Structure 1
Amino acid sequence: MSTITRRTPLLAGLAAVGLMAALMAPGEARGDVPPAPGWTLQWSDDFNGPARSLPSASNWQIDTGHNYPGGPGNWGTGEIQNYTSSPDNLSLDGNGNLRITPLRDGAGNWTSGRIETKRADFKAPAGGTLAIEGRIQMPNVTGEQALGYWPAFWALGAPYRGNYWNWPGIGEFDVMENVNGINSVWGVLHCGVNPGGPCNETNGIGASRACPGASCQSAFHTYRFEWDRAASPNVLRWYVDGQLYHSVDQNRVGAEAWNNMTNHAGYFILLNVAMGGAFPDGVAGRATPVAATVPGRAMAVDYVAVWTRGGGGGDPGPGTPSSLHLRQGGTLGPAAGSAAATTLASAGGANHDGTPHSPQTFTATGVDGTYSGGSTEFDLLVDAGTSVANGQQVRVSYDRTGDGSWERTETYQYFATDPVPGYERYTQARGLKSATGSHGAMTGGTVRVEVWNAIGNGPSTIGTGNQSVVRIPYGPGAAR
């Protein structure tokens, strides 16, 4: 599901994560996320909850309107619907599924739903593999009545958030796309520059095939994407019901484009059903939707899950030693428990820019590792509720031997939150305010993260547990 107008577009044994799903009849009802021997589950949602409730606010954020603030109009694709947070367009069905339902009002205006994961750090560990998988039934509509339907399950590079004009360089992995009710799944990679470039933008590098057995529209199927950094060259793979139908390796796109789409914080996942736009219009050969297009046919999502396998750390990514989540109790380490929040004390109207004031402190001890030559990265979920003129600030300190001396301290520019409830993302892109000392090898070292309100008159919160994360430029190493 590209963010810029476009497009037309080895089975190596059943993948372990998709094994159970692939062995099931495609339309068979299922419950929780399936087990995956040999893989580590990093994140999932099986959409259990009361009928007409919204998807978990801990896991997902809801996109609304016709574009991101300041981003390309019509989401950059020419699609015509207005995304809403109405349960009529977006809700759980009470039977373990998320349903995204396009609707048309009496004036001919279309509405639908689009969500994206709050986490944006899904990345293959160094020397390992990332898998993103969902079990989905496409909208059950075909022929003239389906013209304009564009369901998608996809992922965008984290640097897109807050920028919205750096596509396709930051990377896009389309795990599943479909248009116009055709019995086919498309898997597409977007990268490089637009137009043209190594990924042939705006089309991308794609492949498609019919769903195995029952059609894509009439039954659930399992759609899976793998990013394999254990293979040489590294490779991306697309599966439907465990059957490989598309792959792209790093040699095909070249070192620069591959590095730009992989050497950042990671990816976030999206689910949506668009109406109209460049892809369905191009396939149909005319503008869509049409008068015969019927509303009310939902995409149903049974689960979405992210796993990793292998890898020795040293690269930021879910669960790797250099990816340290802010955890309840003031520790840093792998994501622990479910989403939670910690309160940051009010600045009391004073200016504490650059100087910690009643900070929340998170620490990892016993850290061993070699400096990679990179920089600290962080992705903090912060919120000041309805308070105005609040700003959160972070300081990251490194004690290379654990003896209480801080050889490297980095203070970043504070982040001014808006007065609208809901988490915002504070990242290293705000820039360094000051830095002292230097990095070097860590042996039994300590990493400390302090977060406080630098300005404002009200308290705020920071996401913890499996939410906020700091990535240190060290590896291999471990926080004990």
Structure 2
Amino acid sequence: MRFQSPSAPFLLLPLLASVASAWNAPSYDGYQLVWVDTFAGPSGQLPNENNWNILDGNLGVNNELQTYKRSPRQVQTSGGSTLQLVPWREGSSWTSGRLESKYTFTPQAGRRTMAEALIRFGGNNIGTKQGIWPAFWLLGDSIRHGTPWPACGELDVLETVNGQLTGYGTIHCNTFPGGICNEPTGRGATVAMPNQDWQRWRIVWDRTPGDWRAESITWYMNDQQFHYVRGDQINDQTVWASLTAKPLFFILNVAVGGNWPGYPNGNTLDGYGAMMEVAYVAQYSSW
């Protein structure tokens, strides 16, 4: 179910390596920056709605508890060039924030495409985060045009649950249940996070080989590779294309409860200590 290559297909070296300089998306040797949001703006405002759809309502998925709100209480710029998605307990209910990018991109044949975000989590003790489920991920844009999940394709760059210092990278594809991607679980791998502070999460599509079977998707945390999938492992060109050759869009959200993490308990705390904070989201292409 889980795959990891014996070695990274290439070494990526940032020209701007320090976290302090990364509030602006870093430059990388051999890549051009194509799209970025650095979440500029005063404290307590909604992020740029030219870039993002800010969800408002309960999606009714995964048995999650939260209702997403288009409100600065749940979705706000910090005033320090970051985005804060904040879950709140509202009596017996929960609210939270979710953004979906209006921007879409398609990894180009013959090139490497990279997407990444710099993310940290609120400082609540890990034992007070039962049921909190933040994520940075992508969906195939075809879901907006009638293709059902998971046939649209899904790439989870980062998920973590219950405050655990474990990051999950996963693909979802094909038909439900079972299939090539073992739905609903997906095909994934994990990495140990050093702490809840800033980590850089990246996914790279390598479409340079010229044969879809040799193309690859690779996941990194802070330049450390932790998941790798090749086209010949999926072994279905149509399914592979849904992950590598069709338009994709970004999602940032903090879910609460659901089938995977379970539900909040009496120790679960809400507010900024339970938030996900994002310094930038960026997409690059090789020259």
TM-score (norm 2): 0.91
The structure 1 residue matched to 2:102, chosen from 99, 115, 118, is 118
Counterpart CA distance in 2 for 1:29 and 1:40 is 17
Residue 160 of structure 1 contacts residue 166 of structure 1 at CA under 8 Å; is this kept in 2? Answer: yes
Deviation string, structure 1 residues 388-435 (Cα, Å, up to 9, x no partner):
xxxxxxxxxxxxxxxxxxxxxxxxxxxxxxxxxxxxxxxxxxxxxxxx
| Aligned CA distance change for structure 1 residues 35 and 169 (closer, same or farther; 3 Å) | same
Give 2:4's aligned residue: none
Q: Taking structure 1 as reference, are residues 30 and 124 closer, same or farther at Cα in structure 2, changes over 3 Å only? A: closer
Q: Write the distance in 2 (CA, Å) between the matches of 1:38 and 1:29.
A: 19
Contact 1:101 1:299 survives alignment (8 Å): yes
Amino acid at match of 2:282: A
> Using the alignment, how far apart are the partners of 1:157 and 1:45 within structure 2?
20
CA distance in 1 between counterparts of 2:23 and 2:191 reads: 27
Structure 1 residue 127 corresponds to structure 2 residue 110: yes
How big is the shift at 1:144?
Answer: 3.3
Does residue 265 of structure 2 align to residue 290 of structure 1? yes
Distance, in Å, in 2 between the alignment partners of 1:29 and 1:225 is 20
Paired residue for 1:390?
A: none
Q: 2:35 aligns with which of 14, 34, 43?
A: 43
> Residue 204 of structure 2 corresponds to which residue in structure 1?
226
Do 1:171 and 1:262's aligned partners in 2 also have CA atoms closer than 8 Å? no
Please give the secondary structure, in 2, of the residue aligned with 1:119.
strand
Identity across aligned pairs (percent)?
A: 35
Q: C-alpha distance in 1, partners of 2:281/2:130?
A: 26
Where does 1:66-465 land on structure 2 (aligned, <5 Å)? 66-67=58-59, 74=60, 76-105=61-90, 107-120=91-104, 122-163=105-146, 166-211=148-193, 214-215=194-195, 217=196, 219-231=197-209, 233-255=214-236, 256-264=238-246, 266-281=247-262, 288-296=263-271, 297-310=274-287
Query: Whole-Å Cα distance in 1 between the matches of residues 255 and 15 of structure 2?
Result: 30
Question: What is the total number of aligned residue pairs between the two structures?
Answer: 275
The answer (yes or no) to whether the contact 2:155–2:243 under 8 Å persists in 1 is no
Please tell me whether the aligned partners of residues 108 and 245 of structure 2 are also in contact (alpha carbons under 8 angstroms).
Answer: no
- Give the whole-Å Cα distance in 2 for the aligned partners of 1:134 and 1:20: 16
Task: Please list the CA deviations of residues 426-477 of structure 1 after superposition, one character each: whole Å capped at 9, or x if unmatched.
Answer: xxxxxxxxxxxxxxxxxxxxxxxxxxxxxxxxxxxxxxxxxxxxxxxxxxxx
Measure, in 2, the Cα distance between the counterparts of 1:36 and 1:143: 34
- TM-superposed CA distance for 1:138, in Å, is 2.4
CA 1:58–1:168 in structure 2 vs 1: closer, same or farther (change >3 Å)?
same
RMSD: 1.7
Q: CA deviation at 1:304?
A: 0.5
What's the secondary structure of 2:252's corresponding residue? strand
Equivalent residues of 2:15, 2:29 under 8 A apart: no
Residue 143 of structure 1 and its aligned partner are, at CA, apart by 3.6
Distance change in 2, residues 1:243/1:274 (3 Å): same
Distance (Å, rounded) in 1 between the aligned partners of 2:184 and 2:230: 19
Q: How big is the shift at 1:179?
A: 0.2
Deviation at 1:41, TM superposition (A): 1.2
- AA partner of residue 207 (structure 2): R
Alpha-carbon distance in structure 1 between the residues aligned to 2:167 and 2:45: 29
Distance apart, 1:206 and its partner CA: 0.6
1:22-37 paired onto structure 2 within 5 Å: 23-24=17-18, 28=20, 30-37=22-29
3-state SS in 2 of match to 1:155: strand
SS in 2 for 1:161: helix
Structure 1-normalised TM-score? 0.55
Structure 2: which amino acid aligns with 1:145?
A: T
Query: What whole-Å deviation, never above 9, does each CA across 1:141-191 have from its counterpart, x for those lacking one?
Result: 34431100100000000100143x611111101011000000111100111
Partner of 1:461: none
The SS at the match of 1:280 is coil
Q: Distance in 2 between matches of 1:260 and 1:309?
A: 21
What is the alpha-carbon distance in structure 2 between the residues aligned to residue 34 and residue 260 of structure 1? Answer: 28
